[in-house]
Amino acid sequence: MLPSLDDLLGTARVVALPLVTRFRGIDSREALLLHGPEGWTEFSPFAEYDDAEAAAWLRAAIDFGWERAPALLRDRVPVNATVPAVDAAEVAGVLARFPGCRTAKVKVAAPGQTLADDVARVRAVRDVLGPEGRIRVDANGLWNVDEAEHAIHALNEFDLEYVEQPCASIEELAEIRSRTAYLDVGVAADESVRRADDPLLVARTGSADILVIKAGPLGGIHAALALIRQAGLPVVVSSALDTSVGISMGAHLAAAIPGLDYDCGLGTASLFAADVTREPILPVDGSIPVRRVTPDPDLLDRYAASAERRDWWLARLERCYALLAD
């Protein structure tokens, strides 16, 4: 059952939070927060997503704010550091924001950068983490198969844990997985799960070794858990550059998964210069706590989006609600 639209609009707050480092081409992150009977929740699909895709994120927000969370199997979740596509000289400063994290996810294949830039960045990460640290890279589907094969060979000297979404299509994932199998570098699927008409197809076709799961685009914690059970593959629970409210949703999902073999991508509140709470969910000793977050009213006011952007988000909420109601 959906709450009424009036219930959603009555508590909606839209914020624009500055980032420490430019990420995904943005310097600030907008999000719409809602308060339901189970607590605060977040609706924050990226601005470029259409309403049909964004409606799943609203379903997730309602799930977390209006439905009881599943039983928790742990009270802390191990997380990785996230390194944007920064210059190699900036890597140490980024990693310092993730205390205790022994795994780093490194963005590669950024527009306007070269493979040499990626190699230098990953080398800098390895220098900081040392030989025992784990490194995974994320290309966001921006390589073709030949480019991916070349890049994986170039980065293999740094002992990669896995490469996330090296290519865009499931067919390409299967091919690059076959081509590089002898290197023992896993292939993880992200966009091929969360932006797919059939999020289980990548598992059924054997096109990936690991699934990257985000609660928001999959329709919420309960829907994500059902998918994980059906997929039968190890998973990494990740964020979508959420505020600490959205991170809380991801942490509750990760805490409900019986087997959690990989550090999760839920430390990204460290990439924010400000948050909606004075106690943000940040990594300590390489993990984050599993808890609900209540925004601070003063911070909601301080980082409130402009009236124009607020109205844009509220209109988007109404359109997505209509899709869910149908």
Residues forming the active site: 107, 214
How distant is the alpha carbon of residue 132 from its chain centre? 24
Q: How many CB atoms lie within 10 A of CB 322?
A: 12
**Which of 226, 269, 277, 276 is closest to 251 using CA atoms?**
269
Between the CA of residue 54 and those of 71, 111, 237, 306, 321, what are the distances in Å? Answer: 27, 25, 19, 21, 10
- Tell whether residue 164 is among the known ligand binding residues: yes
Give the bridge partners for 105, in sequence order. Answer: 82, 136
- Tell whether residue 190 is among the known ligand binding residues: yes
Ordered DSSP codes for 7-38: HHHHH-EEEEEEEEEEETTEEEEEEEEEEETT
Ordered DSSP codes for 137-164: EE-TT-S-HHHHHHHHHHHGGG-EEEEE
Contacts of 160 (CB under 8 A, 6+ apart): 135, 136, 137, 152, 185
Contacts of 248 (CB under 8 A, 6+ apart): 40, 64, 281, 290, 291, 292, 293
What is the CA angle 26-292-317, rounded to 5? 50
d(CA 33, CA 48): 19
How distant is the alpha carbon of residue 4 from its chain centre? 28
d(CA 35, CA 38): 8
Q: How many CB atoms lie within 10 A of CB 117?
A: 17
Residue 73: φ, ψ to 5°: -100, -5
Residue set of the binding site: 138, 164, 190
Binding-site residues from annotation for Mg(2+): 138, 164, 190
